[in-house]
Structures are given as C-alpha cells and as structure tokens.
Homo-oligomer: A and B are copies of this chain.
Amino acid sequence: MEIITIGDELITGELLNTNAVFMANALTDRGHQVISITATGDDEWQIQDAFLKARDRVESILVSGGLGPSKNDRTVSSAAKALGLRLVMNKELLEALRERFLQKGLEMTPAHEKLAYLPHPSEILSNPQGIAPGIVIRHRGKLFFLLPEVPLELNQIFREKVLPLLEKEQGENTCFRIRTLKVFGLSEAAIADRLQEIEPKNFSASLANLPRYPENHIKITVQGPIPGEVEANLLHMETLVREKMEDYIFAKNHETLEEIVGHLLRGHQYTLSVAESCTGGLVAHRLTQVPGSSDYFERGIVAYSNQAKMALLGVPKSVLEKYGAVSAPVAEKMAEGVRMSSQTTLGVSITGIAGPGGGSEGKPVGTVFIALASPNSTVSKKYRFEGDREQIKVASAHTAIDWIRRYCLDQLPRSK
C-alpha cells in the first residue's frame, strides 16, 4: 500500500504532512502494510509519475489533496491521464452540487462544475462535510482512492468508506489488535531492558518502544486468524508488559496523564491547587486542558518572584534567604501554602531552574524541586532534568502531575 499526498505546500516545507501520518497510522493499526509515503507538488507530470510508480509496486494507492475547484487542483485530471481514462460529466453529482450551493445561498461558478467530471469508470465516496467527493478508481486490479485534503473531510471518508472497503478487499483472514501502554519515569533504555525478557514471537505479536518525550509508549500488536485467540494473546502480552513496567504505566491508548489524574481526583473527591515557579503555569494549563477540570482544580499560583512566593504562598522570608528559592524547604512551603489558602485536599509545587541562565555549580540548570502537601504530610524531592528550557519545563510539569496520580494510587514517588 502507498500513500501519495499532493500539494505545493507539502514540498516547500510549509506544512507537516499530518494527513499522511493519519492514514499511515490507521492503516498500520489495521494490519495494512504501507511501504512508502510520497509528497508531490501540484505539477501534473509529477502527479502522474507518482501514480504510475505506485501502481507498479502495490495493490492499493491512497491519495489526498488536489481535488478542489481551483486550477491548481490537478489530481483528478492527472489520474485520468496517467491511467488512460476519459473524464466524464456525472449528471447526478452536478445536480447534487447545484443543490448544495443553492441551499447555502452561494453562487456556483464554472470552476465548481469541474468537480462533476470524474474518470470513467470510477465510484464516488460521498463527502458530507465538503463539496469535492472522494473517488475510487479500479484499474488493472489496482485500487486508487482519491481523497480530499481537509482533515475533517478526509478523516470521515477514510474511516467510513475507505477502511471498510479495504477490509472487504483484504478478506477476513487476519484479525489485528493494537494496544498502546504509556510509561513515564523510565528511560527508553531501561524500558528496552525490561521488555527484552518478554518473548513475543510465540504469540504472533510484536512490541515497539516509542519515545514520546517525556513519555515512552509501548505498542503491542497481535495478529492471527481467530479473533478470540488474538484477543487472548493481546491480554496476555499486556499482562506481561504491565508486570515488567510496574506502576510506571500510567495510561493506555489515547488517554493522557492529565485525564487519568482528573479521573482519579474526581473518584476520590479530592481537590487540587498548584504553586509553580519554573514551570510558569504549564501544570495549571495542562490540568485545565481536561473538560470539567473545574470540578477538582481550584487554583494555580505562578509565583515567579520571591515577593509572590511570600505574599501568595506564605513562604517565610527566612526560609527563602537560608535555602534559596530553588530548594526543598521552599518547595514544601509553597505546596503547603497553596493547599492551605485554597483549602484543597492536595497542594503541589514546583521550583527550579529552567535555564538557560540562572544555574550555579551547586544548582545547575535543570535542578528542580517538587513537593506535594496532603492532609497527613508534605513530601518533596530533588530532580535533575536534561535539555533546553522547554524540555525542562515539560519534564518538570509531567513529573508533578504524575505525583498526583501516584498519590491517588498510594504509590508516592520513590527514590531512584
């Protein structure tokens, strides 16, 4: 299977090719093998060339882009030329287009009439979200799917039309199941070491270890002819991986750390407040990305200055002077202060040096203290994160949010 994406903006580096990634991901997840992704410009010769080369190599070719009414949209005409097909006006489609424009009170121009000319023979994949329909061409035993480039339109047609059609073509000999387990707090190498002991080959399964900074994702793929067996093997693999990764696994599939934390806080009826220094609001921002987070998130304080740490969080001047703003005692006072003033179950704090300036020999850039104040105690820990300012902010915020998860699960951070 090959993916061809068309548009000048893709080969000039103006746009990331997210459509190709979306399709490749969905296809791979269903056991289809994508062997190549090509991005080409709006040039008719280049498009024809890409079509013909793909036709020589694979059975199915997924194409997106260049279906619109503008004169730069040349996918349909190029497909027709490359495959030696005529363009024939489809009266029903033209009527449907006229109807659509009428309903919206818009004028249909001659440019739009171009959309009703389709390679003959071909089939229409209707596009409820847009005006240019998808097109399927069967040619010498090969399948060409021409799809729009607007992600919303592409996604719908792809899921509702293309995948089922490919499944039918593929037959029902093979069943695929995928599961992603998300890990935080272990390095890629440490995960690889732990995974090595699992021997997945007996189960027609494979394991991939994917770094997704600051997380790592373990992708389990299982295939086989019998759905029940495949499901059982997937569960077996998941159990093996979970045993090896212990409580470093925080979520599966599309769940995010902040969603998991939200579920846990809501489940325990805990409320939360946050006091941030070096992360500058990133923890609050991420926690409040979750719809409904106002149920448990009470407030966040970004206390960048010492003045703010004293006035808003009640950090004593003497503690700041004795230990410095980046220290365990200050982190603890910040967590206790925000918890106290907001009357929440938990208070979390972060203070550190995100860089590039501000580091010293004793406290180099990347030194970060995290503290969590709860009804019974306050704990804190020193970290040393690597990377640039943004990476240090991201790793610090992730670690702090993971502390909340671990508190709710009674797995408070251990020394490493």
Contacts and interface: CB of A to CB of B under 8 A. Distances in A.
A399 to B, nearest CB: 16
Interface stretch (A19-27, A224-232, A246-254): A19-27
Contacts of A10: 37
Interface string A1-39: 000000001111111111011111111100000111111
A88 interface: no
Among A17, A18, A355, residue most surrounded by chain B Cβ atoms (within 10 Å)? A17
A5 B283 CA distance: 35
B25 A35 contact: no
Contact of A284 (B34, B280, B356): B280
A156 interface: no
A43 B35 contact: yes
Contacts of A283: 281
B21 A35 contact: no
A208 B287 CA distance: 37
Interface in A177-208: 208
A37 B302 CA distance: 44
Among A9, A34, A274, A283, residue most surrounded by chain B Cβ atoms (within 10 Å)? A34
Given A281-B284, A285-B280, A300-B281, A16 B11 contact: no
Interface size class of A (residues with CB under 8 A): 35 or more
Interface stretch (A123-131, A260-268, A303-311): A303-311
A11 B38 contact: no
A335 interface: no
A239 interface: no
Interface stretch (A114-122, A136-144, A288-296, A315-323): A288-296
Contacts of A301: 299-302, 312
A50 B22 CA distance: 22
A357 interface: yes
A13 B24 contact: yes
8 contacts: A11-B28, A14-B25, A17-B17, A36-B40, A36-B41, A38-B38, A280-B288, A302-B302
Interface of A: 9-18, 20-28, 34-41, 43, 46, 49-50, 53, 57, 208, 210, 219, 274, 276, 279-285, 287-289, 291-294, 297-305, 307-308, 311-312, 341-343, 355-357, 389-390, 393
